[in-house]
Amino acid sequence: MKKELTRQQYLDLYYYMRLNRAVEDTMVKLFRQNKIVGGLYSSLGQEAISVGTAYALEKKDWLAPMIRNIGALLVKGVPPRDVFMQHMAKYDSPTKGKDGTSHFGDLEKLHIVSPISMLGDLIPVMTGVAMAGRYLGQNIVTMTWIGDGGSSTGVFHEGLNFAATQKAPFVLILENNLWAYSTPVKRQVPLENLADRAKAYGISSYIVDGNDVVAVYSTAREAVERARAGEGPILIEAKSFRRLGHAQHDPAEYVPKEMRAYWEGRDPIALYEKFLMGERLLDTKGKKDVDEKIETLLAAEREFAENSPMPPPEFAETGVYCTGDECHKIRPKWERPISEVTPPKSSVKPVWTVEGFGSGKSAASTAIHFGDTKAALETETSDTDATTKTNGSKRAAKSPAKNSAKAGAASRATRKVKR
């Protein structure tokens, strides 16, 4: 870890990681008391990723968490009570008790898009949000997360390709925690680094130690700045390990004990605490203050959540269908003149250039202009005639048989080299 942030930034990262873990610990207690009605998914050992990446965003930026990115929600400003009530299906929860896990967002104030359980689908969604922000002149960056297993879904590749072709200001965090449920990464992907997948789409990527919160933040901050500057989407692979199973029902007995012990020795909070103490950014009193602050906060948030009523039965039939303008009041927030993206200013001729198409020449010397087909074909025909005349009778004198023999010899030579 390098000392390159302000003192407050260092302490913020520490506080949010501690809060992330404490919120999840509290939910485990609620789960064991049968107060959580849905599933519970832990991010134990991966707190540095959620916190460090979300902390790199500006207030105006948008994010879409997955079920394990509670730390990102906390950084964005979601109070712990909302997380508790959402999992307890309480009436005061963001979804009024109609969801038992983490499917909630805040489009108007916090710019949070609700998680989508079909893994990978958030990639094209957040690409669209990024494009919409650019269209409205907002200069925003969007971010979402995906696991190593989720990166094997078709929509991961479709979405990333879409983001790349549109040069969307979008940052994707790939959390490589070594296991996709019970399948090790080595059994699902023939790659050492999942970040290499970015090469297929011509976009930049980073690899970072997911247990080093300073490195995660610094990397994410650079990626966000580059995306905002117009460099297009960026992929960050954060290497880490989730120390609990897929959910509370999964004891993860398939994980070798040696592997678990190794990663327990690399706990991101313990590593960061040691760093802060060594740099004299935190002392025993400061640590105690953080303990007390989190304990006091979560006691109040848990009490509020437990005292929130369950939704009334008649509420079940409401909010199913959207009718009229009362469904939502969210409207586009223009930060550029609308005239820039409407005719006549936005009008362009349906003509574009494709390098190296049609004539067999190199991309550097040839272009076909679509939209004016006749002129393009005339140009190509003219170029072909000129080539034939320049080469004279030598090319015309070669027989098809000789050309075929030479082509066959060249092909055999090529096959030998490849072998």
Say whether both 318 and 375 belong to one domain. no
pTM of the complete model: 0.82
Q: What is the CATH number of the domain that holds 181?
A: 3.40.50.970
Say whether both 11 and 132 belong to one domain. yes
Lowest-confidence region among 242-251, 284-293, 336-345, 410-419: 410-419
Say whether both 389 and 310 belong to one domain. no
Residue 326 pLDDT grade (very low, low, confident, very high; cuts 50, 70, 90): low
Residue 149 lies in a domain: yes
Q: Are 102 and 70 spatial neighbours (Cβ–Cβ below 8 Å)? A: yes
Say whether both 306 and 372 belong to one domain. no
What average pLDDT score do residues 197-216 get? 96
Say whether both 186 and 81 belong to one domain. yes
Q: Are 271 and 291 spatial neighbours (Cβ–Cβ below 8 Å)? A: no
Domain final residue pick, 276, 309, 326: 326
> Shortest CA distance to 302 belongs to which of 90, 149, 96, 12?
90
What average pLDDT score do residues 25-30 get? 94
User: CA distances (Å), 136 to each of 34, 126, 167, in order?
Assistant: 46, 15, 16
Say whether both 228 and 374 belong to one domain. no
Say whether both 322 and 365 belong to one domain. no
Tens of pLDDT, residue by residue over 404-419, are 444 444 444 433 333 3
Tokens of 166: 């549109």
Residue 333 lies in a domain: no
Residue 344 lies in a domain: no
Say whether both 285 and 375 belong to one domain. no
What is the count of structural domains for the chain?
Answer: 2
Residue 347 lies in a domain: no
Tens of pLDDT, residue by residue over 86-139, are 999 999 999 999 888 889 999 989 999 999 989 999 999 999 999 999 999 999
C-alpha span between 104 and 114 (Å, rounded): 5
Residue 368: what pLDDT? 59
Say whether both 198 and 284 belong to one domain. yes
Domain final residue pick, 311, 326, 341: 326
**Alpha helices by DSSP H, 213-332:** 213-226, 257-264, 268-278, 284-307
Say whether both 370 and 303 belong to one domain. no
Range of the structural domain that residue 63 is part of: 7-326
Residue 113 lies in a domain: yes
Domain final residue pick, 274, 291, 326: 326
Residue 345 lies in a domain: no
Say whether both 23 and 167 belong to one domain. yes
383 pLDDT above the threshold of 50 = no
Residue 229 lies in a domain: yes
| Residues in Cβ contact with 81 at an 8 Å cutoff, skipping those fewer than 6 apart | 301, 302, 304, 305
Say whether both 170 and 133 belong to one domain. yes
Three-class secondary structure of residue 168 per DSSP: coil
Residue 30 lies in a domain: yes
- 364-398 core/surface letters (b: 16 or more CB in 10 A; e: else): eebbbeeeeeeebeebbeebeeeeeeeeeeeeeee
